[in-house]
Structure 1
Amino acid sequence: MALAIRDVREHDLDAVLALNNAAGRSILAIDAAQLRFFYEHADYFRVAEIDGELAGFLIAMREGRDYESPNYRWFSSHYPQFLYIDRIVIANAFRRHGLGRIFYCDVTSYAEVRVPLLACEVFLEPRDDVVVLFHGTYGFQEVGQQRMGDSGPQVSLLAKDLPSYGYVRDTYLEHGQLPAEPWLAERLHPTTEPHA
């Protein structure tokens, strides 16, 4: 089994949309325009391929984005710097193989050299104890709760401190920038990608 975690490409978007909207009630459905917004603005948008097949994806955004999610807005009003995991979806055929943990390791590696906090939420209605336990064992703590809209589900707002960030900030970010290494590079957005 060959696994690759890589930045999303435009030709992946139809498959990502189908995967998102087949995920069930634990993931909010989106349309093509919303997915395009993520493609153009998300700081972290990576997919997992297993033997060439799309197996999952994770989308995350830093503070300061023009994003209307009530959960993202909650973190924006409470924390000056963070990376917010908007959604993670794993295809049914690839669940229970540790792909969620692989994604969380990757997004943590991305975040800890940029921000002091990794944030997300989990639905409490319906409550999924596997998801709650996963986040708890990965170091997330509940920092709040809210209802999504007037009649939406109750969510638990979770955050994880990234202690490595202090060292990176003091050693690199306050004196310039991160080293020019491929694994530290920012995602190329469509507006910054070189033209063929």
Structure 2
Amino acid sequence: MKIRSAQKSDLTKILELNEAALPHVSKVQITDMARFLKQADPFLVIEYDNEVAGFMIVLQSGLDYSSLNYAFFVNHFENFDYVDRIVIADPYKGKKLGTSLYDHLFKTTDKKFITCEVNVKPANPASLTFHNKLGFNQVAEQVTENGHKIVSMLVKQM
């Protein structure tokens, strides 16, 4: 297992992993992933057996990013990392790769809070359980996509 910064050459595989994780993450285009590569801090990939097995995109406050979930945290918190998305490919689930990505973030951040959201509609109970075990707590729920999604807004104080 190896954690490293995402590279432009990883973006096609990362987009493929993102697509496979729908509807638990938002649909994006390759141009969005390229923008994340420039804006995210960090944008990590995790390799397992020399394959890209997952990724994590972390955004800071002050970006021009039209996400209602990101805007919630910008409006309610200061000094935070926002985990826009974390995805682990199905064949690699259960191998603690998501935990390893978060542990890396926890050890390297200088922020007071780590924030993220998890779908409650459509339900993503595995992700909610995972985030709760890592010490995240719900601070709100938010309705998005004209009621098609409801997300649990989660925060972990560092």
User: Shared fold by TM > 0.5?
Assistant: yes
Is 1:49 matched with 2:47? yes
Q: How far is 1:71 from its partner?
A: 0.4
Distance apart, 1:125 and its partner CA: 0.6
Structure 1 unmatched runs, 5+:
163-196
**Within 2, Cα distance between the matches of 1:128 and 1:63?**
26
SS at match of 1:115: coil
Cα distance, 1:152 vs structure 2? 3.1
Matches within 5 A, 1:20-59: 20-59=18-57
CA distance in 1, matches of 2:102, 2:153: 17
Q: SS in structure 2 opposite 1:146?
A: strand
Q: Which residue of 2 aligns with 1:95?
A: 93
Return the structure number with greater strand share. 2
By how many angstroms is 1:104 displaced? 1.0
Q: How far is 1:151 from its partner? A: 2.8
Cα deviations by residue, 1:99-157 (Å, 9 ceiling, x for unpaired): 1111111111122xx21000000000122222111111111111111111423301010
> Who is 1:8 aligned against?
6
Within 1, Cα distance between the matches of 2:95 and 2:69?
28
- Alignment of 1:123 with 2:108, yes or no, is no
Rounded to whole Å, the distance in 2 between the matches of 1:41 and 1:127 is: 29
Give the TM-score taking structure 2 as reference length: 0.95
Alignment correspondent of 1:132: 128
SS at match of 2:99: helix
Hey, what's the Cα distance between the residues in 2 that align with 1:128 and 1:98?
Answer: 18
Greater radius of gyration (CA): 1
Between the two proteins, the alignment pairs up a number of residues equal to 158
AA matched with 2:157:
D
Q: Counterpart of 2:142?
A: 146
CA RMSD of aligned residues (A): 1.1
**Percent identity between the two aligned chains:** 34
Partner of residue 156, structure 1: 152
SS at structure 2 position matched to 1:80: coil
1:131 is matched by which residue type in structure 2? S
What are the Cα deviations for residues 44-91 of structure 1, in whole angstroms up to 9, with x where unaligned?
101011121111000011111111111000000001211000001111
Quote the residue 1:109 is aligned against. Answer: 107
Unaligned regions of 5+ residues in structure 2, if any?
none
